[in-house]
Structure 1
Amino acid sequence: MAPRKAPDSTRRSDRSRRAIYDAALALVGEEGYTRTTIEGIAARAGVGKQTIYRWWPSKAAVLMEAFLDLAARQAAEAAEAAGEGAAEAGGDGIPDTGDLAADLKAVLRATVDELNDPAAAAPTRALAAEGIVDPALGAQFVEKLLDPQIQLYVTRLRAAQDAGEVRADIDPRTALELLIAPLTHRWLLRTLPLTHAYADEVVDYALRGLSPRT
């Protein structure tokens, strides 16, 4: 009789972790952050609440990790969909086709799609709001979610400076806020539609102020 294989605890843990991620994101979308609880996440995921407490110190930590995982999966799917074009553009960075306006419009349009995606919108709002009252979570939100994205803009704008597409005296860190802040503002207020056309307009308005002076 062949010996029975022991269960693969790593695979079981991965399945449980994935179920917890999915449950946390779903509940925040359905119930809101305040009404989402560790107990609710555990019940939706089909795990014991002690499993969650063993891996995370709080529901905010669960949601943070779940959202980071979601962002990584979305980035991987986008890269796969882009195929060779993504590879030529430099992997996970902002495309550098030599046309700064076109590259920024492509990225901001993708950002609009992400912000309008209900699966990502609810946890993003929840983390941003909770980060205001929880400084430690807010710092983690900035470090793990915002800063990596901001650095992509800085890198692309510096390349544009080297190519003479953008004034040499601008600060890329300040300049990128002309691009991403309007989208975030409109998304937070929810009073006007967040569209591709608006993203294109933001790029056009920003670049007119960033173009080299003649």
Structure 2
Amino acid sequence: MDCDPRGTISQQGNVMRIDNAFVEDVVPANRSSNGYLLVSYATAGANRTTSIQNLRLNITRNTVLLDSLGRQIRLSDIRKGMWVNVVFSSAMTRSIPPQSTAFLIVARRDFQTSSSTTTTGRIAMVDPLNEILYTGNPFDVNSQTKYLLSNATITDRSGRPISIRALQPGQRVRITHANFQTSSIPPQTTAFHVQLL
């Protein structure tokens, strides 16, 4: 008996649904295209076997992305290896993998507690060349935290993308970062998203 936790596709009118889809890949939007999620789900086969299939869910500006508490999140907040519930169009391409437009994506567990933490603080120093941000008291290294920004998205108060060069000491920021940190002084961790407040 297979105990894979992946859900199966069900149809409800003109929409399809998968509860407990596994995120295989996340491709954020760029200038030429919207982003997408590649998810896998289970399908029942002959002799009580289960096979795993992939589905590409195209993200548009109308796609609603939520965490498990109903708070709005960004596509960049969803990571490979997470579990999501998805609602999408029943119109699918015949490509491999098939593609459909996502209407709703809900992170199964609160992504803030399962893979990341959010911290609010003041910028102490920014190193744009090395993509590093320090928060805390600029005169007390023991109060600071060092954030590596190499793959982080940085946004202004309205959620529009900005450059690391727009960040200045003294500004308040909300940083979504990895749950782990080094035991160095200051402690160091990886930032996923930085938003000016």
Could you state the TM-score of these two structures normalised by the residue count of structure 2? Answer: 0.24
Instruction: Give the structure with the higher percent helix.
Output: 1
Instruction: Give the structure with the higher percent strand.
Output: 2
Larger Rg: 1
Of structures 1 and 2, the one with the larger relative CO (CA 8 A, separation 6+) is 1
